Amino acid sequence: MLKLFRVLVYCASQEYNVKKSFYLIVDNVRSLENVGSLFRTADAMSVDKVFLCGITGTPPNTKISKTALGAEECIEWEYYAQSWRLVEKLQKENISVVCLEQGKGSVSLSKFNPKFPIALVVGNEVKGVSQSVLKKADVLLEIPMTGKKESLNVAVAFGISAFEINQKRLSL
């Protein structure tokens, strides 16, 4: 009972106007440690809900808990087998779907002006966001990188972009 009380107290303190909602869609992320890190960062950025899709593991799981440090118990989450169906559902609810992915026409994070409510999609560590989701996205978003490598760990990339999006959300 104490655990339930803690979750309810936390959720009550994180209420935002629905117009400013910020969601995370985790599309086929294979590493359970990355899933845990995504939960932990989502909690830190007051993400309203995490959607776990495809092959992405779900709580309860000790590998997720190891990196989430309890955040998976404090943030609402839901599982969808097919991420593209979730994207269609959210878009019907006028939620902007933004994929964190380099590609033709992608917008630099530094120039991105988010439209809330927003759902940020992060993809598989090797393949990125599913093509079926990329085709439906409202925006492709990329993190400007000046080093020799062109990619970041999925949890690190989410942390960078979530911080920027959350700063803009808090300034509304």
Structure confidence by residue, pLDDT tens digits, 76-109: 999 999 999 999 999 999 999 999 999 899 999 9
> pLDDT class for 5, splitting at 50, 70, 90?
very low
What is the pTM (predicted TM-score) of this model? 0.90
> pLDDT class for 17, splitting at 50, 70, 90?
low
Per domain, the residue ranges of the chain are 20-170
b/e sequence 47-72, b meaning 16+ C-beta within 10 Å: bbebbbbbebbebeeeebbebbeebb
Helix boundaries (H) for the chain: 2-13, 32-44, 62-68, 83-92, 131-134, 154-170
- Which phi and psi angles does 88 have, rounded to 5°? -60, -45
The hierarchical CATH code for the domain 20-170 is 3.40.1280.10
